[in-house]
Amino acid sequence: MEKGWRGLPYHSIAEHYKRIFGEKVYKIPVTVVDDCPNRMGLKGMKTCSFCDVWGSAAREESFQMGLREQIEKYQVQIGEEYNSKKFLVYFQAYTNTFTKVSALRENFDTALSYPFVKGFVVGTRPDCLSPAVLNLWQEYYQKSFVAVELGVQSFFDHHLEFMQRGHTGTDSLKAIDKIANSTAVDLGIHLIIGSPNETEEEIKQQALICNDLPITNVKLHNLHVLTNTELAKWYAEGKFTPIEREQYTERVKLFMSYLHPRIAVHRLAAFASRWDELIAPKWTSDKMGTHQYIVDRFRESKTYQGCCLINQNENDNVLFENMRLRVERI
């Protein structure tokens, strides 16, 4: 099995982290805030149509636990499950810059006080980036690994409106520019595939936009329906139907075909962590099955990350040729 992309037809986030840390590094997802501008209805904003009451938190119980308790408990669980010794604390749920800088500083210091914690990852929105937050990230970047995951979801405004994000694609581009110009943090974005009326051209353009951005990674989600969300209401009314696994896989293949190999990919689909809250599509609950299904379709069709970019840039040709050879050997 070819070692370059760990036998996968794409550049995985595990490989990205391994290059930085020299070994496997796993994220400890934690919850330290319980709100966001959307949920508060700031400037007339609404809760994102796909977001449930847990605000993307990995575990409900984390809301009742302090930061230290979460880090210590999940480090043991994740360490045993994956045999990992190095960790990143992932401030995941809700909008993690929607709080006081002093509180952020305290949380970062707490996370970094553990010898097994090698840095942290902050999840946030494009419209919650004050100069003070950017300065703080850059300050911690001088002494630790700092990554930011920005909820972009789409660069197309009609999809953002459907998701009720409360920001535009231009807002995201400006935010990415601002972060890259003010800090050196490891920057990634989240994108959602499966909005109504999504076209192949849009999928392709999203990848090409990513290629031109100062980001190192992308996380893909499929738009799925959870209980107690606006999307659940629309689903019940017949106004929204999630795409099937086959259709989703074709869109992921298209996106990845145009995504430059320098950009690492976290995962190929969203996986519902609370199965009882998943309404549709059911395939979203089959984490390993879905991953394998998508990877198998990549292999069958000899698709790999960046395969449609070949020859578009002379300087990239050697890189792409190596990638192609790897995939052929798998």
Kindly list the residues in this chain that would bind ligand SF4 in the complex (CB under 6 A).
36, 38-39, 47-48, 51, 55-56, 94-95, 125, 151
Query: How long is the chain?
Result: 330
Residue 284 CB, nearest distance to ligand SF4 (Å)? Answer: 16
Contact (Cβ atoms closer than 8 angstroms) between residue 129 and residue 178: yes
**Nearer residue to ligand SF4 within complex by CB, 58 or 307:** 58
Residue 187 CB, nearest distance to ligand SF4 (Å)? Answer: 18
**Nearer residue to ligand SF4 within complex by CB, 62 or 95:** 95
Residues in contact with 179: Cβ distance below 8 Å, sequence separation at least 6, in sequence order = 129, 134, 137, 148, 150, 185, 187
**Nearer residue to ligand SF4 within complex by CB, 14 or 45:** 45
Contact (Cβ atoms closer than 8 angstroms) between residue 124 and residue 150: yes
What is the β-pairing status of strands 278-280 and 225-226?
antiparallel
Residue 151 CB, nearest distance to ligand SF4 (Å)? Answer: 6
Say how far apart CA 290 and CA 305 lie, in whole Å: 18
Per DSSP, the chain holds a count of helices (H) and strands (E) of: 12, 9
Q: Which one, of 4, 13, 5, lies nearest residue 263 by Cα?
A: 13
Residue 320 CB, nearest distance to ligand SF4 (Å)? Answer: 35
Residue 143 CB, nearest distance to ligand SF4 (Å)? Answer: 28
Chain-centre distance for alpha carbon 235: 24
Residue 110 CB, nearest distance to ligand SF4 (Å)? Answer: 22
**Nearer residue to ligand SF4 within complex by CB, 38 or 303:** 38
**Nearer residue to ligand SF4 within complex by CB, 38 or 70:** 38
Place of tokens 């305290």: 106
Q: Which one, of 245, 186, 235, lies nearest residue 215 by Cα?
A: 186
**Nearer residue to ligand SF4 within complex by CB, 95 or 217:** 95
